[in-house]
Chain A
């Protein structure tokens, strides 16, 4: 066995199992990926008013996304600059100030340190408060209301980071008559699995659908939902598309069938819903190109490194997923359900019950993913197992001329692992020599 080979060998379709186990690789990931990349934090609709905030994480660093009294959204490390206590201990709310519960240092919505107990007696009024504001992420931007931040002062724009993926994400964003709205609340659960297993799954793992989720296809699908989610699984021509920065979309249908399917299903729900689907289409046609309008919806996707989504239909919920790293063998899944703020009530109600039933903490799809993701991780940590490679050779080499006229991104056969290799290519670029160490 060659002991000095790179951990990611895209041309050979091989990825070392070491990177799913090694604590040093994990620490390098936090520094080279999670402290550098644009990371998703939430949606502007969650913090509409001055002072509104949501707590979250960038990698393992707790952060607060806080709308200032000037209306601007800022992202701060959720840690008092005096002794490091979390200044925000709630998941969401509204505050004009955040006061540390430890010694009482107090910060305003723009991060300024505005209150220090015993400033005169303890610091003789000499503390330079301007130096001790909350640490602020230098880069914050949103795309279609989706808020991202980066710790990297030198990071390019969010638009550049998303790159060609924007052409597709625009379909999701522009289809919403009233804009995206996140349902109140979120699901969170822990998995004893490496974060990359979840990220690459959404980036491109079509191969697992028929087997991991075989139980879904055995059900009488009419039991699941008035909007038969599995109607989207049959007879369509799907595409996988990958992008330069490691992003991947899978299950894309370019022939206009998703719209036709929505129309058919809408007819069962009444004229108001048919009209709604037509309005969505009309909106796409007036705002985007004909090819984009024909897409109607996306499918699965992952924005590198850890922000996944699914969007199959104007009649189904949009699933928003974050895979927070929690050690080489652990992650937290944070999940939201997004809907069109102006969807008919019947569709909002369907979305609200559909989301928890499928790709969600108790959903009939996610349960089986958890089992697989955890046992992958368990079987990889041993001294023998971690010397092996994972095999990403499916359809390797058959995607050389993988472009589709008029569509951005690299196209690949629906059953392929090209998207996953794109994910790991980007991973290896960012890790640099952190991913080139001799194997142990």
Chain B
């Protein structure tokens, strides 16, 4: 796969359409974009001496460490009428930028992007989550894209609130 302006444009449009599904709470459609064997992973972050990244490794603590089955359970929970954190639903705006593509040997793409997520709920509850996403995208049978892996690293150590949304 050759990374060129057309591919860049196509992938960016895919990322925009994906977060639009999240904004509109079309979570079941969003799940369709995820590979069956996805690891949806958000390691915790610390300020560590001698380690500028401070990102927990695969054996460390995570904020999300989900397979598709559990992501689907989260979705069904949000659609239940007793998930108080999202009942009534939050209003969530997503900003995706700094999209960088790199072709992988296996025909898939490494796609990194910066992410700003702003949930607002009820009268005045609001917060910001800021970080970078590193995805592996591969073509699905229909010629579209499938998210095969997703790692999200937030820049905040102290998160502004608990998390009741997807990144």
Which of A183, A190, A219 sits near B161, CB closer than 8 Å? A190
Name B50-93 residues within 8 Å CB distance of A: 50, 54, 56-57, 59-66, 69-70, 72-74, 76-77, 80, 82-86
Most B Cβ at <10 Å: residue of A185, A187, A214: A185
User: Which A residues touch B66, using CB under 8 A?
Assistant: 353, 357
By beta carbon, the residue of chain B nearest A374 is B125
Given contacts A184-B57, A218-B80, A366-B162, contact A91 B65 (CB under 8 A): no
- Return A380 CB to nearest CB of chain B, in Å: 15
What is the interface of chain A mostly: helix, strand, loop, or mixed? Answer: mixed
Given contacts A218-B80, A355-B61, contact A92 B85 (CB under 8 A): no
Q: Complex formed: what's the CA distance from A187 to B160 in Å?
A: 12
Q: Complex formed: what's the CA distance from A253 to B66 in Å?
A: 30
The count of residues in chain A whose C-beta lies closer than 8 Å to any C-beta of chain B is 49
The count of residues in chain B whose C-beta lies closer than 8 Å to any C-beta of chain A is 43
Contact A187 B47 (CB under 8 A): no
Given contacts A215-B83, A224-B70, A361-B63, contact A93 B158 (CB under 8 A): no
A371 at the A/B interface (Cβ < 8 Å)?
yes
Name A350-379 residues within 8 Å CB distance of B: 352-353, 355-357, 360-362, 364, 366-372, 374-375
User: Which B residues touch A91, using CB under 8 A?
Assistant: 46-48, 54, 157
Taken residue by residue from 208 to 246, chain A's Cβ proximity to chain B (1 for < 8 Å, 0 otherwise) reads as: 000110111011100111000000000000000000000
Which of B50, B57, B60, B164 sits near A93, CB closer than 8 Å? B50
Contact A189 B160 (CB under 8 A): yes
User: Which B residues touch A214, using CB under 8 A?
Assistant: 80, 82
Q: Complex formed: what's the CA distance from A220 to B72 in Å?
A: 11
User: Which A residues touch B57, using CB under 8 A?
Assistant: 184
Given contacts A90-B49, A368-B84, A374-B125, contact A185 B56 (CB under 8 A): yes
Chain A interface (Cβ < 8 Å from any Cβ of B): 89-95, 183-192, 211-212, 214-216, 218-220, 223-225, 332, 336-337, 352-353, 355-357, 360-362, 364, 366-372, 374-375
Chain B interface (Cβ < 8 Å from any Cβ of A): 42-50, 54, 56-57, 59-66, 69-70, 72-74, 76-77, 80, 82-86, 122, 125, 157-164
Q: What are 9 A-B interface contacts by the 8 Å CB criterion?
A: A90-B49, A91-B157, A184-B56, A215-B80, A223-B72, A352-B59, A362-B63, A367-B85, A368-B85
Question: Closest 5 CB pairs between A and B?
Answer: A93-B49, A185-B61, A367-B85, A185-B56, A362-B163
